Amino acid sequence: MAESHNSLSGDRFLAYATLTPSAFVLFLLAGVPTVTVFLTSMQDIGMGETSGPFIGLDNFIWALSDPTFYSALWHTFVWVFGSVSIEMVLGLGLALLLNRTFVFRGAARAIILAPYLVPTVVAVMTWRYMFHDIVGIINAVLIDVGIIDGPLLWLSSQSLAMFSVIMVGVWKFFPFAVIALLGILQSIPQEQYEAARIDGASPFQQFMRITLPYVMPVFLLTALLRTIWSFHKFEIIYLMTGGGPLDSTTTLPILVYLKAFSDFEFGRAAAVAILTFGILCILLGGYFILIKRAEARQ
């Protein structure tokens, strides 16, 4: 018994000794910047300053009482849920299609996954040219087929800018959903479908009773990851519209950037960043509840 206890203690010591360096590096990479941002949010700091007067929660009070913050929050929700919902539905549909056997299936998979491999800057610059009101191919095609009578200002119109940005985000990142969902679809035992067909189940019933329960945990987990990444996504919106026109595509990350590097109010920018982190944590909590429920139903 004593030898067993000593062996167990030795294993624990080895485990702690192995994990301690990684935990320390993780703290340096994640904990220190987070604490720094929180301390910055409680100070009045301008450009070129490393510290400023301590003002407590004034920056948070400003953010929670400023209409600009709530406008950016609304635009963030529109951007995140608009892009993620379309990505997931489109990804599931294409994953179901690619899970079937047909001619040139390999080529189809390669084509669908291609947008995910294109650098974001290249993709955005290409789409900006395509959305151009005069020389853009999108307006040209829509006019030729008779859908519109004249060119639309895709990136200069308050009513179309967010829609345009969402479409670019969907095109760029829907392959991630296809990859994740196709993997789980290929792991479903085919015997279950054969048994369901013998019992007379229709394709829709097979999807609802077999496919969907298997896919749902991965579907929600993928949606969770895409929500996290989209919530703090900066480069697509900034390169497409810069937050305009008239702040119609200004999301919380864009607001943080503008406050820090246009208004030189680093304290307020840090406060918005902390609030963004808090909102995202609340959303993650909701997602984890949904994922646990989906796993419990399997």
Average pLDDT over residues 30-35: 81
Average pLDDT over residues 5-9: 55
Angle at 122 between CA 117 and CA 127, to 5 degrees: 105
Domain-embedded: residue 19: no
CB 157 within 8 A of CB 70: no
> pLDDT by residue (tens digit) across 171-200?
999 999 999 999 889 888 888 888 888 888
Selected residue with higher pLDDT from 92 and 34? 92
pLDDT grade for 49, boundaries at 50, 70 and 90: confident
Tokens of 41: 């949010």
What contacts 183, CB < 8 A, 6 or more positions away?
Answer: 218
pLDDT grade for 6, boundaries at 50, 70 and 90: low
- pLDDT above 80 (res 161): yes
Average pLDDT over residues 106-132: 90
**pLDDT (0 to 100) of residue 176:** 92
- pLDDT above 70 (res 138): yes
- pLDDT above 80 (res 131): yes
Q: Which burial class, exposed, middle or buried, applies to 214 when counting CB atoms under 10 A from its CB (0-12, 13-18, 19+)? A: middle
Average pLDDT over residues 110-114: 87
- Residue 86's alpha-carbon distances to 25, 91, 148, 166, in angstroms, are 37, 8, 24, 9
**pLDDT (0 to 100) of residue 94:** 93
**pLDDT (0 to 100) of residue 70:** 94
**pLDDT (0 to 100) of residue 7:** 56
Domain, as residue range, for 66: 60-296
- Residue 259's alpha-carbon distances to 22, 51, 156, 192, 207, in angstroms, are 34, 17, 22, 56, 48
Query: In angstroms, rounded to a whole number, what is the distance separating the alpha carbons of residues 174 and 103?
Result: 23
Domain-embedded: residue 70: yes
pLDDT grade for 10, boundaries at 50, 70 and 90: low
| Average pLDDT score over the chain | 87
The tally of domains found in the chain comes to 1
Minimum mean pLDDT among 80-84, 100-104, 155-159, 275-279: which range? 100-104
Selected residue with higher pLDDT from 27 and 86? 86
**265 in the Ramachandran plot: left (φ > 0), alpha (ψ -120 to 50) or beta?**
beta
- The answer to whether the bond into 67 is cis (omega within 30° of 0) is no
**pLDDT (0 to 100) of residue 80:** 94
Tokens of 62: 């400003």
- pLDDT above 90 (res 67): yes
Minimum mean pLDDT among 42-56, 144-158, 237-251: which range? 42-56
**pLDDT (0 to 100) of residue 286:** 79
Query: In angstroms, rounded to a whole number, what is the distance separating the alpha carbons of residues 232 and 79?
Result: 11
**pLDDT (0 to 100) of residue 189:** 85
Domain-embedded: residue 26: no
- Residue 142's alpha-carbon distances to 145, 153, 155, 189, in angstroms, are 5, 13, 16, 45
Residue 270 maps to which CATH number? 1.10.3720.10
DSSP string for residues in the chain: -HHHHHHHHHHHHHHHHHHHHHHHHHIIIIIHHHHHHHHHTTB---TT-S---B-TTHHHHHHHH-HHHHHHHHHHHHHHHHHHHHHHHHHHHHHHHHTS--TTHHHHHHHHHHHHHS-HHHHHHHHHHHT-TTT-HHHHHHHHTTS-SS---TTT-TTTHHHHHHHHHHHHHHHHHHHHHHHHHTTS-HHHHHHHHHTT--HHHHIIIIIHHHHHHHHHHHHHHHHHHHHT--HHHHHHTTT-STTTT--HHHHHHHHHHTS--HHHHHHHHHHHHHHHHHHHHHHHHHHHHHHHT-
Query: In angstroms, rounded to a whole number, what is the distance separating the alpha carbons of residues 267 and 256?
Result: 10
- pLDDT above 70 (res 9): no
Domain-embedded: residue 46: no
Domain-embedded: residue 3: no
Domain-embedded: residue 254: yes
Domain-embedded: residue 47: no
Domain-embedded: residue 177: yes
Average pLDDT over residues 45-53: 76
pLDDT grade for 240, boundaries at 50, 70 and 90: very high
- pLDDT above 80 (res 269): yes
